């Protein structure tokens, strides 16, 4: 067993592509070597600014010999069939084996040398590597992210000879572009390769580069009594920019600290890849930064720090300009601009979306203890900063800048906070807002997104989710559950769906007649009349519906899941609860009842899980399955008997009578418990059925020869099934 070492050395690989490249190299190498029949002990890949590296330990010298048997035509088949089989196998008829009237070909092939397999595989990997962006370099046909300079390929210390697009393989690599020895050097194996790279100022492993950056940055900060502002995303990126990362502390003009700290930090991060610095125990930032150089400067980095400070000053001056100019413009002008910004071709403008969010936030407010007027006001201002200069420069600051500008405009803190945080939570690791006004606006914003795209049938499919609807649904679920909000999702779907549909109809009418809803009020009355009143009527209906508030704490109408939104929430809730250890079948069993109150659904799932973990629960589930199986078989023959269960039949077994009384008592107890949303009590009521059900199936023959007895017992099983299905659809529970 020997070691394979491969390095593809090139010009600088973009940092954002390196992690994916390492995974792709691992996958492609593994797939091709496995397909050839090779096995190994360990396979590891590395990606850095100028190299992709693969090392495989425990790789045999050759692929295993293969013996396979191919089944051919029958011996009685036409001659053409036999001739085709012989051509396919490359054998003659006397080399075939006849067995049971069928021709078989026994083919043996010796294993191939591993070096031969690797040479072919590397060529194929390089030519088909899935870079997000690649191009041809020079006069060759090979596409790569940047020009390939060298290919190092060693097996058991010897070079594997091959070439790719005129680039020969070898045993040579290079160190740091500026700090290394200045000459390529040969290596014998991975240990020698890694050690020589480090002696030439190259850290191969991204984890080592991250550690050097983090420890070095904290050290230069601590030396000045400062602390580093952690930024894992920036750390990941910078570790892909430098082979020998060296953190240097620089100074910035303190006047820029008058800007919001998010602006300063983002200017550093996005444009310059600097880390922000703070003073321990104090809020805000310190007038310093940490830049990660790719060299160890002879002056300790003083010149580098000074040069980077000048560049940062120019960047922050631009941000300061946007900050000052934005305050001269304000929300009214920004909101006016949103009328000319299309949110989606079928969903109208951003301004129309804001109207829908504001109406929904006003309706949600009472359910979360928020002031409806403040919730509506916050929603109306929530998207205004999208038209600001600062957010135009830094889209990542949307919402955050709106919050700052709202405070400067004299808006209440609750409104400003809601504008700032209404995009939250933006992922599973993000915090969930708890301030009532913020919760109302954040929930309305995400629900409008979901209802809108589901109404126009733009739903996630497979791995594609261009509008981040899965994230929006998870955000709604977390907002609801972590704030205990009692809201009917079907009511939201019906109310907001109607608003979306009106906007969609207006968009459709507008494309035939007008350019925006605002044009309607500006047109002469006689011209509006020529439009047959279509747009005008739609706009009036829309305005009326936006002005009206609907109760969202309970279902409206029959609550049909017309666009599949409830099913989508069920799927997302299942994923969330599964990650917390809950069984997916329990979520399905509860959702099958048609409930749309997520808080109630989760409480019921938790109570159901606790019940099924007991002996009573497990045994009662088994009894339910047996009853359901009997009833399913009977349903195939015809409708099940209906009506009350008789308890005074001649020769009626005591177990049958006992179960009838127990089922009736359980039904009353379950109904009372469910009405009070005491799901633990509902499970306790079901537990009382366990003994009578067990006794019934032990002592009673359901399919009696006496028709009256059989019918009564089927009615009893229908009753038991119905009582249990009031709590959850036990038929969907595994077990």
Q: Indicate if 307 and 350 belong to the same structural domain.
A: no
Structural domain containing residue 178: 2-62+114-199
The pLDDT assigned to 519 comes to 44
Find the helix packing angle between 350-368 and 372-381, rounded to 10°. Answer: 150
- 25 and 123 both lie in a single domain: yes
Q: Which residue has the tokens 């310190």?
A: 286
Residues 503 and 356: beta-carbon distance below 8 Å: yes
Q: Which residues pair with 7 in a beta bridge?
A: 53, 152
Contacts for 296 with CB less than 8 Å, ≥ 6 apart: 179, 201, 244, 246
Q: Are 77 and 140 found together in one domain?
A: no
Element (H, E) at 491: helix 489-512
Under the banding of pLDDT at 50, 70 and 90, the label for residue 524 is very low
DSSP line for 343-393: EETTTEEHHHHHHHHHHHHHHHHHHHT--HHHHHHHHHHTTGGGGSHHHHH
What's the average model confidence in pLDDT over 485-491? Answer: 90
Distance set, CA 578 to CA 184, 313, 582 (Å): 53, 49, 5
Q: pLDDT grade, residue 185 (50/70/90)?
A: very high
| Residue 666 belongs to domain with CATH number | 1.10.730
Between CA 365 and CA 362 the distance in angstroms is: 5
What confidence score (pLDDT) does residue 507 get? 81
475-498: average pLDDT: 92
Question: Do 120 and 104 belong to one domain?
Answer: no
Asked whether residue 417 falls in the same domain as residue 268, the answer is no
Of the residues 171, 199, 227, the one at which a domain ends: 199
- % of the chain with per-residue pLDDT over 70: 95
Overall domain count for the chain: 5
Residues 586-601: what's their mean pLDDT?
A: 91
Q: Which two tokens stand for residue 45?
A: 């890949």
Residues 298 and 188 in one domain: no
Among 324, 347, 362, the domain boundary falls at 324
Average pLDDT over residues 613-632: 91
Residue predicted with more confidence, 633 or 526? 633
Mean pLDDT for 428-433 is 92
Q: Which residue has the tokens 């029949």?
A: 37
Could you tell me the pLDDT band of residue 526, with boundaries at 50, 70 and 90?
Answer: very low
Res. 467: pLDDT tops 60: yes
Annotate 437-469 with DSSP letters as a single string.
HHHHHHHHHHHHHHHHHHHTT---BTTB-TT-H
pLDDT tens digits for 239-286? 999 999 999 999 999 999 999 999 999 999 998 999 999 999 888 999
Task: Kindly state whether residues 419 and 341 are assigned to the same domain.
Answer: yes
Whether 495 is covered by a domain: the verdict is yes
DSSP state of 64: P
Residue 461 falls inside a structural domain: yes
The answer to whether residue 400 sits within a structural domain is yes
Mean pLDDT calculated for residue range 648-676? 91
Look up the CATH number of the domain holding residue 143: 3.30.70
Q: Which of 271, 296, 324 is the endpoint of a domain?
A: 324
Please give the backbone phi and psi of residue 97, each rounded to the nearest 5 degrees, phi first.
-115, 130
638 versus 516: which is more confidently predicted? 638
User: Does residue 22 share a domain with residue 123?
Assistant: yes
- 235: tokens are 């750390």
Rounded to whole angstroms, the Cα distance separating 695 from 701 reads: 11
DSSP-derived secondary structure letter, 259? S
Q: Which pLDDT belongs to residue 109? A: 77
Q: What confidence tier does 534 reach under pLDDT thresholds 50, 70, 90?
A: low
Residues 143 and 181 in one domain: yes
Greatest mean pLDDT range, 491-495, 593-597, 602-606: 602-606
CA 423 from centroid of its chain's CA atoms: 16
Q: Residue 479 falls within a domain, yes or no? A: yes
Q: Is-contact 50 9, C-beta < 8 A?
A: yes
CA distance 290 to 273: 9
Whether 447 and 410 have beta carbons less than 8 Å apart is answered as no
Q: How far apart are CA 375 and CA 357, in angstroms?
A: 10
Question: Which segments within 134-287 are labelled E, that is strand?
Answer: 135-136, 143-144, 148-155, 158-159, 163-164, 167-170, 172-173, 185-186, 227-228, 246-251, 275-278
For 424, phi then psi, to 5°, come to -75, 155
* Placement of tokens 């092939």 in the chain: 109
Average pLDDT over residues 364-380: 97
Do 345 and 302 sit in the same domain of this protein? no
pLDDT digits (tens, 9 = 90+) for 191-237: 999 999 999 999 999 999 999 999 999 999 999 999 999 999 999 99
Query: What is the reported pLDDT for 558?
Result: 52
Which percentage of the chain shows pLDDT scores above 90? Answer: 68
pLDDT digits (tens, 9 = 90+) for 105-161: 888 778 889 999 999 999 999 999 999 999 988 887 899 999 999 999 999 999 999
Rama region for 651: left / alpha / beta (φ>0; ψ in -120 to 50; rest): left
Per-residue tokens: 60:
């045999």
Strand-pair category, 172-173 with 167-170? unpaired
Distance CA 207, CA 56 (A): 19
Residue 1: band (very low, low, confident or very high) from pLDDT cuts 50, 70, 90: low
Per-residue confidence at 560, pLDDT binned at 50, 70, 90? low
In a domain, residue 590? The reply is no
Task: Grade residue 636 by pLDDT with cuts at 50, 70 and 90.
Answer: confident
Q: What pLDDT was estimated at residue 535? A: 63
DSSP 593: T
Residues 483-512: what's their mean pLDDT? 84
Q: Report residue 529's pLDDT band, with 50, 70 and 90 as the boundaries.
A: very low
Q: What is the mean pLDDT of residues 339-347?
A: 93
pLDDT of res. 363: 94
The rounded Cα 320 to chain-centroid distance in angstroms is 36
- 184 close to 172: Cβ distance less than 8 angstroms: yes
Question: Is there a single domain that holds both residue 562 and residue 533?
Answer: yes
- Please give the Cα distance from 105 to 120 (Å, whole number): 28
Nearest to 680, CA basis, from 727, 722, 619: 727
CA distances from 665 to 48, 572, 604 (A): 70, 36, 21
Distances (CA, A) of 448 to 49, 494, 500, 573, 628: 43, 12, 8, 19, 41
Please say if the pLDDT value at position 562 is more than 70: no
Do 724 and 619 lie in a common domain?
yes
Instruction: Tell whether 527 is covered by a domain.
Output: yes
276 within domain boundaries:
yes
User: Does residue 584 belong to any structural domain of this protein?
Assistant: no
pLDDT digits (tens, 9 = 90+) for 66-120: 777 888 999 888 889 888 988 888 888 888 888 888 988 888 778 889 999 999 9
**What is the pLDDT of the chain when averaged over all its residues?**
90
């Amino acid at each position: 067993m020997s070691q394979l070492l491969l390095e593809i050395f090139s010009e600088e690989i973009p940092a954002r592509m390196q992690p994916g490249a390492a995974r792709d190299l691992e996958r492609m190498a593994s797939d091709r070597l496995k397909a050839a029949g090779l096995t190994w002990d360990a396979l590891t890949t590395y990606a850095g600014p100028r190299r992709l590296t693969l090392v495989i330990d425990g790789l045999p010298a050759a692929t295993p010999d293969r013996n396979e048997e191919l089944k051919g035509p029958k011996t009685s088949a036409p001659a053409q069939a036999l001739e085709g089989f012989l051509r396919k196998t490359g054998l003659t008829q006397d080399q075939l084996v006849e067995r049971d009237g069928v021709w078989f070909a026994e083919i043996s092939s010796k294993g191939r040398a591993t070096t031969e397999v690797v040479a072919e595989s590397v060529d194929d990997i390089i030519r088909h590597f899935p870079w997000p962006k690649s191009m041809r370099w020079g006069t060759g046909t090979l596409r790569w992210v940047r020009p390939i300079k060298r290919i190092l390929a060693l097996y058991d210390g010897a070079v594997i000879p091959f070439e790719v697009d005129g680039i020969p393989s070898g045993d040579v690599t290079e160190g740091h572009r500026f700090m290394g020895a200045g000459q390529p050097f040969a290596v014998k194996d991975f240990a020698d390769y890694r050690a020589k790279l480090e002696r030439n100022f190259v850290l191969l492993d991204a984890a080592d580069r991250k550690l050097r950056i983090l420890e070095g940055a904290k050290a230069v900060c601590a030396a000045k009594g400062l602390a580093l502002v952690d930024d894992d995303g920036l750390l990941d990126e910078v570790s892909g920019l430098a082979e020998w990362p060296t953190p240097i502390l620089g100074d910035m003009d303190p006047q820029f600290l008058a800007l919001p700290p998010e602006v300063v930090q983002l200017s550093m991060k996005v444009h310059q890849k600097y880390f922000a610095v703070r003073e321990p125990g104090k809020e805000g930032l310190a007038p310093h930064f940490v830049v990660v150089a790719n060299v160890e400067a002879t002056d300790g980095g003083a010149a580098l720090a000074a040069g980077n400070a000048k560049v940062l000053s120019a960047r922050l001056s631009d941000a300061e300009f946007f900050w000052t100019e934005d305050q001269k413009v304000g929300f009214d002008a920004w909101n006016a601009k949103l009328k000319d910004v299309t949110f989606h071709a079928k969903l109208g403008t951003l301004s129309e979306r804001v109207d829908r969010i504001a109406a929904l936030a006003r309706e949600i407010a009472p359910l979360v203890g928020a002031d409806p007027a403040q919730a509506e006001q916050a929603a109306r201002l929530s998207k205004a900063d999208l038209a600001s200069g600062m957010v135009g420069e830094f889209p990542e600051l949307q919402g955050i800048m709106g919050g700052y500008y709202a405070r400067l405009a004299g808006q209440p803190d609750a409104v400003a906070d809601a504008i700032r945080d209404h995009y939250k939570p933006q992922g599973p690791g993000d915090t969930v807002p708890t301030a009532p006004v913020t919760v109302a606006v954040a929930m309305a914003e995400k629900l409008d997104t979901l209802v809108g795209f589901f109404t126009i049938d733009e739903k996630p499919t497979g791995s594609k989710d261009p509008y981040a609807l899965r994230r929006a649904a998870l955000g709604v679920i977390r907002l609801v559950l972590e704030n205990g909000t009692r809201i009917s999702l079907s009511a939201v779907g019906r109310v907001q769906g109607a608003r979306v549909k009106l906007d969609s109809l207006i968009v459709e009418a507008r494309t035939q007649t007008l350019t925006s809803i605002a044009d309607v009020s500006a047109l002469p009355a006689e011209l509006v009349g020529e439009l047959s009143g279509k747009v005008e009527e739609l706009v009036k209906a829309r305005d009326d519906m936006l002005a009206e508030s609907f109760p969202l704490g309970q279902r409206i109408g029959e609550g049909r899941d017309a666009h599949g939104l409830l099913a989508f929430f069920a799927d997302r809730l299942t994923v969330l609860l599964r990650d917390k250890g809950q069984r997916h079948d329990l979520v399905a069993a509860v959702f099958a009842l048609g409930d749309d109150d997520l808080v109630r659904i989760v409480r019921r799932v938790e109570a159901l899980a606790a019940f099924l973990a007991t002996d009573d629960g497990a045994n009662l589930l088994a009894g339910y399955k047996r009853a359901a199986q009997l009833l399913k078989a009977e349903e195939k023959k015809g409708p099940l008997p209906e009506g009350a269960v008789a308890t005074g039949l001649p020769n009626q077994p005591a177990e049958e009578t006992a179960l009838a009384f127990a089922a009736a008592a359980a039904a009353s107890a379950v109904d009372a418990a469910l009405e009070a949303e005491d799901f633990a009590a509902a499970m306790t009521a079901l537990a009382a059925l366990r003994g009578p059900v067990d006794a019934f199936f032990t002592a009673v023959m359901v399919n009696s020869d006496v028709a009256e007895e059989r019918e009564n017992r089927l009615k009893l099983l229908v009753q038991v099934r119905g009582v249990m299905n009031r709590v959850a659809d036990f038929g969907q529970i595994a077990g």
